């Protein structure tokens, strides 16, 4: 009785659809979930459209999967509570904060592009014998521009990642795509003095991917790991393949994700930011990563390591079933042909990598 009352008290705190699951069956649901026909006795696995395999293996941490409730897709964040799994859902269509971000980004993108072009011309004319202070200031300006470009891109596209729109999948050698990306990151980190290691399968692994969206999802995980995990402690990326799944794990050795935001990690962009959490950002990076996993038929699992640090695993499906493919076509570069690594890791790299002479 006390166990049931405890669950009821937890569910009462949620306006969004929320329910508890034990052994694959819903045991309690709040009124919002019940209005979506999720009631005690409902089987959970038929509702999962992306991340079923990951949920079957779920034991701890925070897992994000995709559900179909009343013919509408919902993101579900899952944690272990009172011996059961607590599902908190959010309709992918109810993303007014992301819509507002997209509108703001549209207005910001043009003047930002103009500023980057003008500063590039200005710094190109910087005399070769300019003093160190002038070169450092120019590098700091360039880095700030790259940081703004990353933020504007995430603001503009986070809604598309959540809703799974404008997906352009092609059947590709994923091992090769990731190898090239991780080699570039490792090279950049070496220049920056940041410890970075990675491992990929030796054999080619093929599957349906949207290259740009997968890349951006992984970049955001690596950026967060470097930024919050401690640059000296280092970041490790491991890519492993099973018969039907590919797993990309990003692990750091930092102090971990603050206890106060762990349960809201995947929905940080919805909160009212306060002065105390300004260093945590608005949380769009994790939204992009979660969306990238979902649109590839996978999920995102966050784990706090017992010794130190955080491990986040993105899974993607290697099956082509129910995944329409497109022939490779010329794509619009989402950074405007700026170096992807320097844009996506702009919050984590030292300013000297943005010196004008290096960006020419």
| pLDDT tens column, 156-168 | 888 888 887 788 8
Total count of residues recorded for the chain = 360
Structure confidence at residue 276 (pLDDT): 43
Least confident of 65-79, 140-154, 314-328: 314-328
Residue listed under structure tokens 């559900």: 67
Say if pTM beats, i.e. exceeds, 0.75: yes
Strands 206-209 and 170-173 come out as: antiparallel
Report the topology of domain 2-91: Beta-Lactamase (3.30.450)
Phi, psi (rounded to 5 degrees) for 298: -120, -155
Q: How far is CA 187 from CA 182, 194, 196, 225, 359, in A?
A: 9, 10, 9, 17, 16
The SS3 call for residue 292 is: helix
Tell me how far apart the alpha carbons of residues 316 and 292 are, in angstroms, rounded to a whole number: 9
Domain boundaries, the chain: 2-91, 163-359
Quick one: which of 76, 64, 88 has its CA closest to 11?
A: 88
| pLDDT tens column, 295-314 | 999 999 999 888 778 899 99
* Cα dihedral: 243, 246, 249, 250 (round 10): 160
pLDDT of 83 over the 90 cut: no
Q: How far is CA 140 from CA 11, 134, 278, in A?
A: 47, 10, 21
Q: Which CATH number fits domain 163-359: 3.30.565.10, 3.40.50.300, 3.40.5.10, 1.25.40.10?
A: 3.30.565.10
| pLDDT tens column, 314-345 | 999 998 876 677 766 667 788 888 999 999 99
Quick one: which of 273, 267, 261, 269 has its CA closest to 304?
A: 261
Q: Do domains 2-91 and 163-359 have the same CATH topology?
A: no
pLDDT of 269 over the 50 cut: no
Structure confidence at residue 243 (pLDDT): 85
């Amino acid at each position: 009785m006390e166990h049931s009352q405890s669950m009821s008290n937890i569910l009462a705190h949620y306006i969004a659809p929320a329910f508890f699951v034990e052994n694959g069956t819903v045991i309690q649901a709040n009124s919002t979930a019940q209005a979506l026909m999720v009631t005690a006795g409902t089987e959970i696995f038929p509702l999962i459209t992306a991340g079923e395999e990951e949920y079957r293996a779920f034991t701890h941490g925070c897992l994000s999967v995709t559900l179909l409730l009343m013919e509408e897709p919902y993101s579900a964040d899952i944690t272990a509570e009172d011996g059961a799994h607590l599902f908190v859902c959010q309709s992918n269509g109810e993303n007014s904060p992301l819509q507002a971000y997209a509108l703001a980004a549209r207005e910001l993108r043009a003047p930002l592009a103009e500023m980057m072009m003008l500063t590039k011309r200005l710094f190109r004319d910087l005399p070769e014998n300019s003093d160190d202070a002038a070169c450092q200031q120019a590098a700091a300006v360039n880095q700030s521009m790259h940081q703004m470009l990353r933020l504007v891109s995430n603001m503009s596209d986070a809604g598309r990642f959540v809703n799974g729109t404008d997906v352009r999948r092609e059947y590709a050698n994923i091992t090769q795509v990731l190898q090239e990306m991780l080699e570039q990151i490792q090279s950049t980190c070496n220049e920056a003095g940041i410890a970075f290691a990675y491992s990929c399968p030796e054999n080619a692994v093929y599957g349906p991917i949207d290259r740009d969206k997968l890349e951006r999802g992984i970049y955001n995980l690596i950026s967060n790991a470097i930024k919050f995990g401690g640059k000296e402690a280092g970041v490790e990326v491991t890519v492993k393949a099973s018969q039907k799944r590919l797993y990309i794990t990003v692990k750091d050795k930092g102090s971990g994700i603050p206890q106060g935001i762990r349960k809201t990690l995947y929905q940080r962009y919805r909160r009212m930011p306060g002065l105390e959490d300004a260093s945590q950002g608005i949380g769009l990076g994790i939204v992009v990563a979660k969306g990238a996993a979902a649109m590839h038929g996978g999920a995102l699992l966050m784990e706090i390591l017992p010794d130190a640090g955080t491990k986040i695993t993105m899974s993607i499906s290697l099956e082509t079933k129910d995944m329409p493919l497109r022939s490779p076509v010329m794509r619009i570069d989402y950074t405007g042909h700026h170096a992807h690594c320097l844009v996506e890791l702009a919050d984590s790299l030292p300013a000297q990598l943005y010196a004008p002479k290096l960006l020419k």
